């Protein structure tokens, strides 16, 4: 066990101004507090906080963080109190220890709802001061190193929590070395058989390639020296967990991996990095598609390096990472490499904390947390943000937008601004008009096309979006739009009933009566009426008991209307919106003939384009014919209706060229109304360009079949010596289903191009 003076000397070795007295007090206090306690291994308990402190000295953290590491278990596991810690060590350290005490009580692998809420608490605790997370990660690392002394069920629970939460958090904070060790240890306990098998294979591969690392190291060093480039070269083998993840996700053998061997070239300047890259690519063949420049476009966790893969000596594929010494420290230690990690401010000013990419990400994550209503949604959001790799795209003005792999134009739009996302209708990618659900690639220039008539995004976008930010914004906008629409519907119903009893409607009258109706706001009252939760007569009674008495004496039928287009019968029957579009909607629970589940929607007030009834009202029917003009639209596509005099309502997919003949002011947003209890397939048309070789058609059919799509017809439209273009009519459930099929087709090497076609 490390002695007191040894710990102090470690800290003073990198921080001459460290408070020796503070470190000595914390060491002695923690040792006495834990003096009678033992770990599961039988070792003195104090050995654990001491090892945690030792791990943090390797990260060169400040004296307050080291003292916190020594004290992090005293409130939870001894008779010490927060007040006593504040008195002896100051409020700063007291706050850090208290934050770690709260984290220790959380169960992050409990059932989903509890896990989500506990995860919220975890991120709130660590966002107040990043040092709380740094100590917690070191604490978890030492626990994982000594996990063999725990019971099997505890080992599995702690390992799963480490793999799901703490390892990704370490990665997001840029602490790759710590992340790799956490993943490796968790993998060992969660999948012991796979771990042992891969370890045996890696050892066999190492024996077969004995001397290869030294040979590559020597060749690289010699060429760099001849070119006058000073650099340090470190060779390593890929970690077992990383190998296992690639083997399982890509369905390939271990021998097919291109980066079992990796080398880091640590140069003095950025110019030397690019010079070394040119030298390497001149001396050895580069592997196509294996080049990434994270120096010019850093990752969100501040990681910067050039990655390339070459075919080196012995025809062995070798991954190279080229970086400067400063970049290497950030890559290894992440946020701990920045002096700004001690800044606990909110980031309002231009201080150092704003420059720490990982910390900025954490603060933004917590801001989203505080905005959310559903903890399970937040858990999903955060896991999406933790696990995805990135693609880098640009706005037309050159602004860089970092997104997870698989992100679409929808995600890009919401990353620019929430309002842009809510009104997005399409995009121009690299100068070409493309659908809103197009998957983005590195280097794409994206211009989002917005529509003034779109007040809320289609709910189906949530299934297409890849980022938690976009999904959360879509849910929020959908909820807000639905509430507004129910409010407008409720306002119309209340106004009609007021007119029947001789009252003049005003929002102020209903607002004053909100309390008597057990609601807080006017919007709450109207939305409840629109949803059918609050009877209209109750609103009349709360506003004017005298008028309600007239209503009760006369019944609710009212005078017989002179014209079927001049009335609304409320929630008991048909609600007529014919003054706007000559469409009728049956309210929930009403009687009447059902109609086909086509898109329904109408404006509520004023001209036809002023609003959209996007709530899923069943049984829409129309006095005018309503039909699709474009073949190939599926649920999830944005669709708009146009009232054509003498022809009825014509519904078009948003990208239809036929819409060009109508003024955008005449468009009316309509929404899909699909019965989830009776799923139905919809036809879609794909144009696929493939290599003209045997087995291609079988691969195409296999992708569609495995994705549970149905091929209705297939025909060749263009044939050439090398390539063939075919049109495939497929049947799918919705846009998300179609997007999965298209992504599967694009992943095939024989496929050159996949696009949607519309009639």
User: DSSP letters of 616-634?
Assistant: --SS-EESS-EEESSTT--
| 505, pLDDT greater than 80 | yes
| Residue 654: predicted pLDDT | 77
pLDDT tens for 116-133 read: 566 666 666 666 677 888
**617/65: higher pLDDT:** 65
Residue whose token pair is 């460290």: 18
| Residue 109: predicted pLDDT | 59
**Residue 542 shares a structural domain with residue 626:** no
SS3 content of the chain, % helix, strand, coil (to 5): 50, 15, 35
Contact 545, 501 (CB under 8 A): no
**Residue 149 shares a structural domain with residue 206:** no
φ and ψ of 639, to 5 deg: -125, 150
- How far, in Å, are 256, 413, 422, 562, 621 from residue 448 at the CA level? 40, 6, 11, 49, 35
- Is position 552 annotated as part of the catalytic site? no
Q: How confident is the model at residue 352 (pLDDT cuts 50, 70, 90)?
A: very low
CATH number at residue 38: 1.10.3210.10
Contact 540, 501 (CB under 8 A): yes
**Residue 204 shares a structural domain with residue 267:** yes
**Residue 301 shares a structural domain with residue 216:** yes
Question: Residue 153's Cα: distance from chain center in Å?
Answer: 31
| Residue 29: predicted pLDDT | 94
| Residue 471: predicted pLDDT | 87
**Residue 124 shares a structural domain with residue 252:** no
Question: Last residue of a domain, which of 288, 306, 336?
Answer: 336
Cβ-based neighbour number of residue 532 at 10 Å: 18
| Residue 346: predicted pLDDT | 39
**183/493: higher pLDDT:** 183
Question: Residue 267 has which token pair?
Answer: 């140069």
| 390, pLDDT greater than 70 | no
Inter-residue long-range contacts of 748-751, CB under 8 Å, 24+ positions, other chains counted:
748/699, 748/700, 748/703, 750/690, 750/691, 750/693, 750/695, 750/696, 750/699, 751/688, 751/689, 751/690, 751/691, 751/700
| Residue 403: predicted pLDDT | 82
**Residue 184 shares a structural domain with residue 222:** no
Q: Which of 15, 58, 76, 666 is catalytic?
A: 76
Q: How confident is the model at residue 480 (pLDDT cuts 50, 70, 90)?
A: confident
Question: Residue 130's Cα: distance from chain center in Å?
Answer: 22
DSSP string for residues in 687-720: EEEEE-STTHHHHHHHHHHHTT-EEEEEEEEEE-
Q: How confident is the model at residue 622 (pLDDT cuts 50, 70, 90)?
A: very low
**Of the ranges 65-79, 269-283, 378-392, which one carries the lowest mean pLDDT score?**
378-392
CA distance 550 to 149: 79
Q: Which positions ≥6 away from 581 have C-beta within 8 Å?
A: 602, 603, 608, 643, 649, 668
Cβ-based neighbour number of residue 543 at 10 Å: 22
Q: What is the mean pLDDT of residues 554-568?
A: 37
Torsion over CA of 159, 164, 165 and 168, rounded to 10 degrees? Answer: 110
Element holding 683 (H helix, E strand): strand 682-691
| 158, pLDDT greater than 80 | yes
**Residue 619 shares a structural domain with residue 743:** no
Asked, for residue 722, whether it belongs to a domain, the answer is yes
Asked, for residue 331, whether it belongs to a domain, the answer is yes
Q: Provide the phi-psi class of 33: left if phi over 0, else alpha when psi is between -120 and 50, else beta.
A: alpha
Residue 621 belongs to domain spanning: 561-676
Asked, for residue 415, whether it belongs to a domain, the answer is no
**660/148: higher pLDDT:** 148
Q: Which of 77, 86, 114, 380 is catalytic?
A: 77
**Residue 506 shares a structural domain with residue 574:** no
CA distance 263 to 587: 67
Asked, for residue 131, whether it belongs to a domain, the answer is yes
**Residue 230 shares a structural domain with residue 289:** yes
Q: How confident is the model at residue 749 (pLDDT cuts 50, 70, 90)?
A: confident
- Is position 419 annotated as part of the catalytic site? no
| 371, pLDDT greater than 70 | no
Q: What is the mean pLDDT of residues 158-167?
A: 86
| 286, pLDDT greater than 80 | yes
Contact 643, 581 (CB under 8 A): yes
Total count of domains within the chain: 5
Question: Last residue of a domain, which of 544, 559, 574?
Answer: 559
**Residue 179 shares a structural domain with residue 234:** no
Asked, for residue 388, whether it belongs to a domain, the answer is no
Most confident of 189-193, 489-493, 666-670: 189-193
Question: Residue 86 has which token pair?
Answer: 């504040």
Q: How confident is the model at residue 601 (pLDDT cuts 50, 70, 90)?
A: very low
Q: What is the mean pLDDT of residues 64-73?
A: 93
| 26, pLDDT greater than 90 | yes
**366/202: higher pLDDT:** 202
**Of the ranges 109-113, 391-395, 554-558, 641-645, which one carries the lowest mean pLDDT score?**
554-558
Strand, helix or coil at 416? helix
- E-assigned strand segments in 338-397: 390-394
Question: Last residue of a domain, which of 193, 221, 238?
Answer: 193
Asked, for residue 132, whether it belongs to a domain, the answer is yes
Asked, for residue 136, whether it belongs to a domain, the answer is yes
| 323, pLDDT greater than 90 | yes
Q: What is the mean pLDDT of residues 429-450?
A: 86
| Residue 101: predicted pLDDT | 85
Mean pLDDT for the chain overall: 76
CATH number at residue 695: 3.30.70.260
CA distance 24 to 245: 44
**Residue 231 shares a structural domain with residue 156:** no
Burial degree of 445 (CB within 10 A; 0-12, 13-18, 19+):
middle
pLDDT tens for 290-300 read: 888 989 888 76
**Residue 181 shares a structural domain with residue 319:** no
Strand, helix or coil at 311? strand
Quote the pTM value: 0.51
Q: How confident is the model at residue 63 (pLDDT cuts 50, 70, 90)?
A: very high
Q: Which positions ≥6 away from 747 have C-beta within 8 Å?
A: none
| 511, pLDDT greater than 70 | yes
Asked, for residue 354, whether it belongs to a domain, the answer is no
Residue whose token pair is 């002394």: 149
**Sheet of strand 621-622, all strands in order from the earlier edge strand to the far edge:** 574-576, 583-586, 621-622
Strand, helix or coil at 338? coil
Q: What is the mean pLDDT of residues 213-229?
A: 87
CA distance 197 to 194: 5
């Amino acid at each position: 066990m490390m002695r007191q003076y040894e710990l102090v000397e470690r800290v003073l070795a990198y921080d001459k101004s460290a408070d020796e007295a503070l470190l000595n007090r914390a060491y002695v206090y923690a040792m006495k507090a834990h003096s009678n306690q033992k770990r599961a291994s039988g070792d003195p308990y104090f050995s654990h906080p001491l090892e945690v402190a030792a791990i943090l000295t390797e990260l060169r953290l400040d004296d307050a963080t080291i003292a916190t590491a020594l004290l992090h278990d005293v409130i939870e596991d001894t008779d010490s109190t927060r007040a006593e810690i504040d008195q002896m060590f100051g409020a700063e350290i007291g706050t850090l220890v208290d934050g770690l005490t709260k984290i220790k009580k959380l169960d992050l692998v409990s059932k989903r709802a509890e896990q989500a809420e506990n995860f919220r608490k975890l991120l709130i605790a660590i966002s107040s001061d990043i040092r709380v997370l740094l100590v917690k990660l070191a604490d978890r690392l030492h626990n994982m190193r000594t996990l063999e002394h725990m019971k099997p069920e505890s080992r599995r629970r702690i390992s799963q929590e480490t793999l799901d939460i703490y390892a990704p958090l370490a990665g997001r904070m840029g602490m790759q070395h710590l992340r790799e060790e956490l993943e490796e240890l968790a993998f060992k306990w969660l999948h012991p058989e796979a771990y042992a098998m891969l370890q045996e294979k890696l050892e066999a591969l190492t024996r077969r390639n004995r001397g290869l690392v030294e040979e590559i190291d020597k060749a690289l060093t010699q060429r760099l020296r001849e070119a006058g480039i000073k650099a340090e070269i470190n060779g390593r083998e890929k970690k077992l967990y990383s190998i296992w993840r690639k083997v399982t996700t890509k369905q390939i053998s271990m021998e097919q991996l291109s980066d079992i061997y990796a080398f880091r070239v640590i140069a003095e300047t950025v110019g030397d990095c690019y010079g070394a890259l040119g030298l390497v690519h001149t001396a050895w063949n580069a592997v196509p598609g294996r080049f990434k420049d994270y120096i010019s476009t850093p990752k969100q966790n501040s990681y910067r390096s050039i990655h390339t893969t070459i075919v080196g000596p012995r025809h062995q594929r070798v991954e190279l990472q080229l970086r400067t010494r400063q970049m290497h420290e950030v890559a290894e230690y992440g946020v701990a490499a920045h002096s700004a990690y001690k800044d606990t401010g909110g980031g309002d000013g231009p201080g150092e904390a704003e420059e720490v990419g990982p910390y900025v990400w954490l603060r933004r994550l917590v801001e989203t947390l505080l905005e959310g209503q559903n903890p399970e949604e937040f858990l999903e959001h955060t896991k999406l943000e933790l696990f995805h790799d990135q693609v880098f795209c640009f706005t037309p003005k050159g602004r860089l937008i970092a997104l997870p792999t698989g992100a679409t134009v929808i995600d890009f739009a919401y990353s620019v601004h929430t309002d842009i996302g809510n009104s997005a209708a399409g995009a121009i990618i690299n100068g070409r008009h493309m659908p809103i659900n197009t998957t983005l690639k590195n280097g794409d220039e994206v211009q989002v096309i917005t529509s003034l008539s779109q007040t809320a995004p289609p709910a189906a976008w949530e299934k297409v979006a890849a980022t938690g930010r976009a999904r959360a914004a879509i849910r929020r906008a959908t909820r807000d739009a639905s509430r507004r629409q129910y409010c407008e519907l409720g306002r119309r119903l209340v106004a009609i009933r007021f007119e029947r009893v001789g009252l003049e409607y005003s929002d102020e009258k209903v607002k004053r009566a909100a309390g008597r109706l057990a609601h807080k706001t006017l919007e709450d009252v109207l939305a409840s009426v629109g949803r059918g939760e609050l009877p209209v007569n109750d609103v009349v009674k709360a506003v004017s008991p005298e008028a309600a008495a007239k209503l009760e004496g006369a019944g609710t039928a009212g005078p017989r209307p002179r014209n079927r287009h001049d009335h609304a019968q409320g929630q008991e029957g048909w609600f007529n919106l014919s003054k706007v579009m000559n469409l009728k909607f049956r309210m929930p629970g009403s009687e009447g003939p059902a109609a086909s589940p086509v898109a329904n929607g109408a404006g509520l007030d004023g001209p036809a384009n002023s609003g959209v009834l996007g709530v899923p009202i069943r049984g829409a029917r129309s006095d005018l014919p309503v039909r699709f003009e474009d073949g190939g639209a599926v649920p999830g596509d944005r669709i708009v209706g146009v009232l054509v005099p003498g022809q009825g309502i014509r519904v078009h997919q948003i990208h239809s060229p036929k819409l060009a003949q109508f003024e955008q002011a005449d468009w009316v947003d309509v929404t899909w109304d699909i019965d989830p209890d009776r799923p139905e397939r919809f036809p879609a048309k794909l144009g696929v360009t493939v290599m003209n070789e045997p087995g291609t058609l079988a691969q195409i059919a296999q992708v569609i079949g495995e994705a549970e799509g149905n091929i209705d017809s297939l025909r060749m439209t263009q044939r050439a010596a090398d390539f063939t273009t075919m049109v495939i009519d497929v049947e799918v459930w919705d846009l998300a289903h179609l997007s999965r099929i298209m992504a599967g087709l694009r992943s095939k090497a024989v496929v050159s191009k996949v696009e949607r076609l519309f009639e």
